[in-house]
Amino acid sequence: METAKLIFDFLGPDPTEMRQFIHDVWPENPDANVLDLASGNGDHLFGFIDKPVASVTVVDNSEEALRLLLERHSNHKQLISPICADLGTWACDRKYDVVHMGDNSIQMFASYKDQFNIIKTMASCLSDKGFGLLNVTPVTERQIMEYCVEPKRITTVKNGGETVEVFGQIKVDVFNQDLIMYFSISRDGIEEGRSTCRCRMLLKHEIEEMVKAAGLKVVQVRHRKLKRGNDSYYYLLQLNQ
Ligand SMILES: C[S@@+](CC[C@H](N)C(=O)[O-])C[C@H]1O[C@@H](n2cnc3c(N)ncnc32)[C@H](O)[C@@H]1O
């Protein structure tokens, strides 16, 4: 089982629900050249790839995720251009009509500076009338309390005669706004792997500060209460000109 998949599923929003959310907030434009930042394996791309768009450029630093994305969206492959790059250093050399960063990915960038750099990248890639779509889905207090205590079983997979169990735990450092997720995988009761994912919990007022400092403005904030209890937000951004 892929670690990225577990991280995605652990406290993250349900992909089907989020696809619908993206679908609903999508700024319709059949001529749009779209940029999807931290696209992953394309789960959330299902939220808009069936919309009429001119092209979709996807950027992620995982070759494996991009390979999967192209495989899953092979029926749209003429529309999709993949770029394997680290968004911390990637410089965009053209303008896009829609720049999307979904799935709370911004919180996977572990410092204020890194998160601000992503917003600046969004601004630098946007065309004059283009829209930035930024999703933030904070974890709930209940999730923090529930997962902070001790490792909790996230899933059990029975494969032939084998039982694979995945455990997760989170630790929160409120002063640094850090949320660290720990995972361990056991096969037939024997631990065989561990991994960690560090997130920085982005606060609402910080989003507004960063957006403004990057030369953008919040045009609208769309909200959806997810089944899992989380509040998910899409910020619709435009250049402040
Ligand atoms: C929460 S996942 C997004 C999953 C995606 N929305 C999907 O539909 O599958 C975050 C993604 O950010 C990517 N990522 C993390 N740090 C990155 C970086 N520095 N540069 C580029 N991509 C990065 C990971 O590889 C991962 O695919």
Cα 208 to Cα 45: distance, rounded to the nearest angstrom: 25
Residues 193 and 231 in one domain: no
Question: Which distant-in-sequence residues (6+ apart) come within 8 Å of 171 by Cβ?
Answer: 148, 179, 180, 182
Q: Are residues 85 and 97 in the same domain?
A: yes
CA distance 176 to 132: 27
From the CA of 230, how far away is ligand 1's center (Å)?
20
Q: Examine the domain organization and report whether 128 and 146 are in the same domain.
A: no
Domain span at 193: 141-200
Query: Do 85 and 178 belong to one domain?
Result: no
- Which residues line the pocket of ligand 1, CB cutoff 6 A? 4, 8, 38-44, 60-62, 65, 86-88, 102-103, 105, 108
Ligand 1 centre from 64 Cα, in Å? Answer: 11
Pair 100, 161 in one domain: no
Same domain, 123 and 147: no
Q: Are residues 175 and 224 in the same domain?
A: no
- Residue 121, helix vs strand vs coil: helix
8 A C-beta contact, residue 159 and residue 186: no
Shortest-distance atom of ligand 1 to CA 44: 8
Co-location of 152 and 66 in the same domain: no
Upper half-sphere CA count for residue 187 (Cβ side, 13 Å): 7
Residue 202 dihedral angles phi and psi, to the nearest 5°: -90, 130
- Among candidates 241, 240, 29, 237, which has minimal Cα distance to 118? 237
User: Are 111 and 228 in the same domain?
Assistant: yes
Q: Are residues 32 and 125 in the same domain?
A: yes
Domain co-membership, 15 together with 73: yes
Look at the chain and report how many structural domains it folds into: 2
Best residue for ligand 1 mutational test, from 108, 111, 139 (most atoms within 8 Å of Cβ): 108
pLDDT tens track, the chain, 241 positions:
455 555 556 777 788 999 999 999 999 999 999 999 999 999 999 999 999 999 999 999 999 999 999 999 999 999 999 999 999 999 999 999 999 999 999 999 989 999 999 999 999 999 999 999 999 999 888 888 888 888 888 888 887 888 989 899 999 998 889 999 899 989 998 999 898 989 999 998 999 999 999 999 999 999 999 988 899 999 999 999 8
Instruction: Using alpha carbons, list the distances in angstroms from residue 100 to 56, 122, 185, 218.
Output: 10, 8, 32, 14
Between CA 112 and CA 176 the distance in angstroms is 10
Of ligand 1's listed atoms, the one at least distance from the Cα of 39 is 5
165 shares its domain with 90: no
The pLDDT of residue 89 is 93
| CATH code of 116's domain | 3.40.50.150
